[in-house]
Amino acid sequence: MMSLRRPLVGCAARPAVAFTSIAKKQTATILKPRTFTAAFSSSRPTASRQSALTTFSKFSKSSNPFSRFQQARNSSFATEPAVVRPNQSALYKGLYAVAVFGGTAFAINFIFNRETREGPIPAYQREYLHETFMYTGLGVGMIGVVAKGLHNVGWSYRLMAMNPWVFAGISLVGGIGTMMATYACPPENYVAKHALWSAFNVSQAAVLSPLLFFNPAILARAGLYTVGMMGAISYVGATAKTDQYLYLGGPLLAGLTVVALSGLAPLVIPATAARTLAFTENLWLYGGLAVFGGITLYDIQKVLYHSRMSEAGLKKRDTVNEAISLELDFINIFIRMVYILQGGGNRRK
């Protein structure tokens, strides 16, 4: 044990002897500053002095608690800049969306549109359909802009804090009232017709403005999916044989009734029946998505039917009323798309 301790004692005593010799030399040269300076600048340091300085520097670095932090900070500033690699996920997502939309359109066209009309759509029917789509796009755009403006001024917060029965009254009076008034207004009264149609769009925007609490990315994806779905269904309805899908009116009305009742289920079913509520919610989401997809197909065929009646002089030309039906289809599909995408994001979290 003594043989093992002696080297350690020698190592510990060596710095103390070196510090003592340095202190004696410094006190001896206090009155001779030039000699003191020359001793450190011109003379060659001895081996003992060099080892003492090395030991002292190591001791000071190891005893400083902030030395490791300073070294880490310096090393972080000394690292090379990160190489930014191009993100290819956006390209892959875009190609995936195009493939999904293309495959869906092809499948819908193959299943529901095997027997297409002979020849192109007549000019009057095509113009009538294009004008209906124009009013539909303008109405959806107006709803989006007004909903964003109302949300920015705090209308969504006041609407969420409102009494549910007051909210239901506003939605019924504002939405259904303006819609029925627009239907009843003759198309010859251009100003009143478009004023009532604008009031209908504003009332829909006031009810839908709380949707802007959702993530903007989800809203954008839901809008893109809704446009793709309605575009594919509209193509099928426009190129199908004449009045091929008008028979769907009765079954779709029955399905719409079931979907509406499933949406009212939380008002009747107690909160303890979790499985029943989950079933009714899925029925409202996915069943409603299928039902309103079928209603869109029916409405497109109805627009073409009304265009033929208008061309024959049996009905007035009123594309604003036709656009309201397609706007309601778009709104219902869009709402369900938002909730489906939001539910998928919550499951991934």
**Averaged pLDDT for residues 92-111:** 55
Assigned domain for 14 exists: no
Say which residues have a Cβ less than 8 Å from residue 49's Cβ, sequence separation at least 6. 18, 22
Say what the pLDDT of residue 241 is: 73
Residue with tokens 């009212």: 264
Say what the pLDDT of residue 29 is: 47
**Averaged pLDDT for residues 293-305:** 91
The pLDDT of residue 68 is above 70: no
CB 151 within 8 A of CB 212: yes
Of 64-68, 146-150, 232-236, least confident by mean pLDDT is 64-68
Distance from C-alpha of 340 to C-alpha of 51, rounded to nearest angstrom: 73
The pLDDT of residue 191 is above 70: yes
Say which residues have a Cβ less than 8 Å from residue 275's Cβ, sequence separation at least 6. none
The pLDDT of residue 297 is above 70: yes
Assigned domain for 21 exists: no
The pLDDT of residue 79 is above 60: no
Of 101-105, 111-115, 291-295, least confident by mean pLDDT is 111-115
Say what the pLDDT of residue 183 is: 95
What rounded mean pLDDT belongs to the chain? Answer: 74
Say what the pLDDT of residue 141 is: 95
Distance from C-alpha of 335 to C-alpha of 310, rounded to nearest angstrom: 33
Assigned domain for 78 exists: no
Say what the pLDDT of residue 203 is: 93
The pLDDT of residue 2 is above 50: no
Say what the pLDDT of residue 274 is: 80
Distance from C-alpha of 138 to C-alpha of 51, rounded to nearest angstrom: 86
CB 236 within 8 A of CB 297: yes
Overall number of domains in the chain: 1
pTM above 0.85, yes or no: no
Q: What range does the domain containing 256 cover? A: 118-348
Of 36-45, 148-157, 205-214, least confident by mean pLDDT is 36-45
Cα angle 97, 98, 99 (rounded to 5 degrees) comes to 90
Q: Which helix (H) or strand (E) holds 276?
A: helix 274-282
| 3-class DSSP assignment, residue 116 | strand
The pLDDT of residue 151 is above 80: yes
CB 306 within 8 A of CB 315: yes
Q: Which helix (H) or strand (E) holds 36?
A: helix 33-41
CB 55 within 8 A of CB 12: no
**Averaged pLDDT for residues 279-297:** 89
Q: SS3 for 174-227, per residue?
A: HHHHHHHHHHHCCCCCHHHHHHHHHHHHHHHHHHHHHHHHCCHHHHHHHHHHHH
Distance from C-alpha of 113 to C-alpha of 236, rounded to nearest angstrom: 6
| pLDDT grade for 7, boundaries at 50, 70 and 90 | very low
Say what the pLDDT of residue 37 is: 43
Assigned domain for 47 exists: no
Assigned domain for 251 exists: yes
Distance from C-alpha of 306 to C-alpha of 194, rounded to nearest angstrom: 20
| 3-class DSSP assignment, residue 240 | strand
Say what the pLDDT of residue 172 is: 80
The pLDDT of residue 335 is above 60: yes
Say what the pLDDT of residue 259 is: 82
Assigned domain for 126 exists: yes
Say what the pLDDT of residue 334 is: 95
Assigned domain for 132 exists: yes
Say what the pLDDT of residue 162 is: 83
**Averaged pLDDT for residues 60-87:** 47
pLDDT tens, residue by residue, 215-274? 999 999 999 999 999 988 888 888 877 666 667 767 777 887 888 887 777 777 777 778
Q: Which residue type occupies 335?
A: I
Task: Give the max Cα distance, the chain.
Answer: 124
Selected residue with higher pLDDT from 117 and 134? 134
Selected residue with higher pLDDT from 186 and 235? 186
CB 322 within 8 A of CB 132: yes
Selected residue with higher pLDDT from 308 and 54? 308
pLDDT tens, residue by residue, 12-52? 444 444 444 544 555 444 444 444 444 444 444 444 555 55
Distance from C-alpha of 223 to C-alpha of 258, rounded to nearest angstrom: 25
- DSSP structure class, residue 248: G
Q: What is the CA radius of gyration of the chain?
A: 39
CB 258 within 8 A of CB 283: yes
Distance from C-alpha of 67 to C-alpha of 60, rounded to nearest angstrom: 9
| pLDDT grade for 145, boundaries at 50, 70 and 90 | very high
Assigned domain for 278 exists: yes
Selected residue with higher pLDDT from 346 and 323? 323
